[in-house]
Structure 1
């Protein structure tokens, strides 16, 4: 599967700072020191309805992570998956009377278009669950043969008790885990499971549903969590720098994935930091496909909204915060974009050197994009009020905003 084209990231004078970011597993800030190649895995979409503003906010957060690392002169090895076979996709296809593969391909193509318009840097490897199945099967077999998995009526389940570190990502108690498991794709009430929280690794073929040759596992399809584990281990290996996604993935998805990988390899941890973006709401509820309360990037684009303004709307909120989408936040972003473009349209202005460092410091401090926007606002206000004599300063500001915030002025 191919990703989307990369926008050019301008080179800036000087060098950025190492990133301090909130790690869900430890509950505090950690300073990441990835070495010359930073490794990041971000969980992708299930392509039955893309791309709503909650998706955009999540991918914006991890785009900033990449930009901070690139500014430190590191390379970035970014991997993202597409869950192109799963119950919600199959259910939507049946509801709409369309082929599930056609639906997945259509929505994935639209997602690529949205990411391109928003200037999100693409992953080096963009892998679908279906194409990953040949690598998933042997991992499930290894877990089963090692006693970390068991069969139940043809399905294969992972035993959470096989990983002594289980629970170390989300730090939830058993009752909270059970509740979220039921809400987020698990089956804690299925009779015969060793532990209600045990997640499915391999689903035996069901009549009328797609299935693949699973070798000794029989025909079937992979569970949700093992999909990402197989892709991450194949392309990044254990101990990569950041596992990312929305806050609703901390449990069960990232918790289970970490345990799968740790049971497979005997190594800990799967990722050095588990980083989670907040939820975007609409009309008082979390924006989600199941609720149908979605604002789509593609719809805004069709209405003529500048993608740079959409991106500024996202950047105006700290990535870990939950926030509400309103017409007003978009109007504020459009006004800000106009001010910034007017400010950089002149050949000279106030010195930009301090501003570049302010943006760098704000982003290095747990991706504090609102502080970075405030810094650019102050520079633009000075430009408007009194101008300046630094020839080329507006060009430096324009390149910095592009390189570090992904906004083209």
Structure 2
């Protein structure tokens, strides 16, 4: 599966700072100092409704991570998956009378278009669950053979008790885990499981549903969590720098994935930091496909909204915050974009060397994009009010906003 084209990232004078970021597993900030190549895995879409503002906010957060690392003169090895076979996708295809593969391909293509328009840097490896199945099957067999998995009526489950670190990502108690498991794709009430929280690794073939050869597992399809583990281990190995996604993935997805990987390898941790973006709401509820309260990037683009304004709307909220999408949020972003463009359109301006460092400092401090925007606002307001004589300043500000915030002026 191919990703989308990369926009050029301008080089800035000097060097950026190492990233301090909030790690869900330690419940505090950690300073990440990767080697020459920083490694990040971000969980991708299930392609049956793409791309709403919740998606866009999440991928914007991890795009900022990449930009901070690139500014430190590191390379970034970024991997993202597409869950192109899963119950919600199959249910939507059945409801709407579509072929599930065509639905997945169409929505994935739209997601690529939206990511390109928003200037999100693409992953080096963009892997669908279906294409990962040949690598998933041996991992499930290894877990089973090691006693970390078991069969139940033809399905194969992971035993959470096989990982002594289970629970260390989300820090939830058993009852909270059980409730979230039922809400987010698990089956804690199924009789016969060793532990209600045990997640499925391999689902035996069901009538009328797609299935693949699972060797000794029989025909079927993979569980949600093992899919990402197989892709991450194949392309990044253990101990990569960031496992990222929305806050609703902390449990069960990232918790289970970490335990799968740790049981497979005997190593800890799977990732040095687990980083989660907040939820975007609309009309008082989390924006989600199940509720149908979605604002789509593609619809805004079709209505004539500049993608740079959409990106500024996302950047105006801290990535870990839960926030509400409103018409005013977008109007404020449009006005900000116009003000910034007016400021950099002048032939000279107020010296901007200090601004570059302000933006760097804000983003290195847990991706504080609102503080970075406020710094650019101050420069733009002063530039429009009084101007300056530095001929290099407008170009430097444009390059800084492009390189670090992904906004083309």
Q: Same fold (TM over 0.5)?
A: yes
Unaligned 5+ segments in structure 2 are none
Q: What is the rounded CA distance, in whole Å, between the counterparts of 1:214 and 1:280 in structure 2?
A: 38
Q: What is the rounded CA distance, in whole Å, between the counterparts of 1:334 and 1:400 in structure 2?
A: 19
Secondary structure at 1:58 match in 2: helix
Deviation, structure 1 residue 347: 1.3
Question: Superposition pairs for residues 216-235 of structure 1, below 5 Å?
Answer: 216-235=216-235
> 2:115 corresponds to which residue?
115
Q: What is the rounded CA distance, in whole Å, between the counterparts of 1:25 and 1:96 in structure 2?
A: 39
Q: What is the rounded CA distance, in whole Å, between the counterparts of 2:288 and 2:96 in structure 1?
A: 19
Deviation, structure 1 residue 207: 0.3
Q: Does 1:100 align with 2:100?
A: yes
> 1:290 corresponds to which residue?
290
Q: What is the rounded CA distance, in whole Å, between the counterparts of 1:347 and 1:127 in structure 2?
A: 45
> 2:304 corresponds to which residue?
304
> 1:270 corresponds to which residue?
270
> 2:53 corresponds to which residue?
53
> 1:215 corresponds to which residue?
215
> 1:380 corresponds to which residue?
380
Q: Number of aligned pairs?
A: 409
Which segments of structure 1 move beyond 2 Å, counting only runs of 4 or more?
Answer: none
Q: What is the rounded CA distance, in whole Å, between the counterparts of 2:372 and 2:207 in structure 1?
A: 53
> 1:363 corresponds to which residue?
363
Secondary structure at 1:195 match in 2: coil
Deviation, structure 1 residue 392: 1.5
Unaligned 5+ segments in structure 1 are none
> 2:153 corresponds to which residue?
153
> 1:281 corresponds to which residue?
281
Q: Does 1:200 align with 2:217?
A: no
Deviation, structure 1 residue 254: 0.1
Q: What is the rounded CA distance, in whole Å, between the counterparts of 2:22 and 2:407 in structure 1?
A: 24
Secondary structure at 1:268 match in 2: coil
Q: What is the rounded CA distance, in whole Å, between the counterparts of 1:345 and 1:163 in structure 2?
A: 57
> 2:353 corresponds to which residue?
353
Q: What is the rounded CA distance, in whole Å, between the counterparts of 2:205 and 2:35 in structure 1?
A: 44
> 1:5 corresponds to which residue?
5
Question: Superposition pairs for residues 14-29 of structure 1, below 5 Å?
Answer: 14-29=14-29
Question: Superposition pairs for residues 26-45 of structure 1, below 5 Å?
Answer: 26-45=26-45
Secondary structure at 2:156 match in 1: strand
Secondary structure at 1:20 match in 2: strand
The superposition leaves residues 266-306 of structure 1 with CA deviations (integer Å, 9 ceiling, x where unpaired) of 00000000000000000000000000000000000000000
Q: What is the rounded CA distance, in whole Å, between the counterparts of 1:215 and 1:19 in structure 2?
A: 43
Secondary structure at 2:201 match in 1: strand
Secondary structure at 2:80 match in 1: strand
> 1:135 corresponds to which residue?
135
C-alpha RMSD of matched pairs (Å):
0.2
